[in-house]
Amino acid sequence: MYGLINKAVEGLVRSKFGDATWDKIRTRAGLPDEPFISMEQYDDKTTYDLVGAASAVLGAPGEAILEEFGYYWTKYTAEAGYGELMKSAGKTLPEFLRNLDQMHTRVKLSFPHLAPPSFSVTDETSSSLTLHYYSDRAGLAPLVVGLLRGLGDRFNVDIVTRSERVNEGPRPHDLFRLTWTPRAGNAHA
Ligand code: HEM
């Protein structure tokens, strides 16, 4: 994955746990003391190793690290120069989720070798939908749980999510059944 992702993992660890903890995690992941370059492609193994090392050093399951990272990512991208892109994806949660593939297609203009996930929306009502998540990478569903939590903040809604793995059919994937309610003070959700 592009360095942008690893850089954000580093940002999350440094801001929440400090520089010394980042050094421990980086060393345990076998990575040199060098800055990640956002536009450079790194082996996916680098990101998985970082998650594994963070899990060991912080004493938390890998799934919890991924979820926390997903949550952080929604704030980080908005501040790291991708705010307009996030804005253009939609003004409401369902609109945004329907536009996720289009958004990553736009990301691809800056990151030409991007291997983005793919999402689709079904069973939509005014307060619920099913989000289907397809990826060639394994084990990243908890990341999506955190991303959805961050999007809940963004759109000022409380989201209840039930996730399921679908192994049958032509394209195994994960699905997330979402139901949302507006948070107090939000008349627009
Ligand atoms: C403007 C904001 C965003 C940017 C710039 C961005 C960019 C990226 C980049 C660079 C990757 C790594 C893929 C690679 O290098 O091949 C990635 C992966 C991913 N993105 Fe986004 N993204 C954004 C927002 C989102 C949002 C809001 C979601 C919400 C669901 C999302 C879901 C994912 C997931 C799940 C992956 C992991 C890769 C996989 O599943 O195979 N992204 N994104």
Residues 20 and 89 in one domain: no
Ranges 1-5, 27-31, 173-177, 183-187: which has the least confidence = 183-187
Q: What's the total number of domains in the chain?
A: 2
Q: What mean pLDDT do residues 2-22 have?
A: 97
Residues 14 and 101 in one domain: no
Q: Has residue 188 been placed in a domain?
A: no
Range of the domain at 79: 73-182
CA-wise closest residue to 51 among 161, 133, 117, 143:
143
State whether the beta carbon of 97 lies less than 6 angstroms from ligand 1: no
Residues 81 and 46 in one domain: no
Q: What mean pLDDT do residues 14-35 have?
A: 98
State whether the beta carbon of 111 lies less than 6 angstroms from ligand 1: yes
Residues 98 and 44 in one domain: no
Residues 51 and 137 in one domain: no
* Ligand 1 closest atom vs CA 115: 16
104 C-alpha to center of ligand 1: Å? 7
Judge whether 179 and 127 are in contact, CB under 8 Å: yes
Question: Given a cut of 90, is residue 189 above it in pLDDT?
Answer: no
Judge whether 147 and 73 are in contact, CB under 8 Å: yes
Q: What mean pLDDT do residues 47-51 have?
A: 98
Residues 80 and 43 in one domain: no
Residues 168 and 95 in one domain: yes
Structure tokens at 72: 């952080």
Q: Has residue 34 been placed in a domain?
A: yes
- For a substitution probing ligand 1, which of 104, 118, 130, 149 has the most ligand atoms within 8 Å of its CB? 104
pLDDT digits (tens, 9 = 90+) for 101-112: 999 999 999 999
Residue nearest to atom 17 of ligand 1 (CA): 116
- pLDDT band for position 88 (50/70/90)? very high
Question: Given a cut of 90, is residue 188 above it in pLDDT?
Answer: no
Those residues with Cβ within 8 angstroms of residue 72's Cβ, 6 or more apart along the chain or in another chain:
8, 11, 12, 146, 150
Residues 132 and 44 in one domain: no
* Ligand 1 closest atom vs CA 140: 40
Provide the mean pLDDT of the chain. 96
Q: What mean pLDDT do residues 31-49 have?
A: 97
* Ligand 1 closest atom vs CA 114: 16
pLDDT of residue 107: 96
DSSP run (H or E) holding 21: helix 19-28
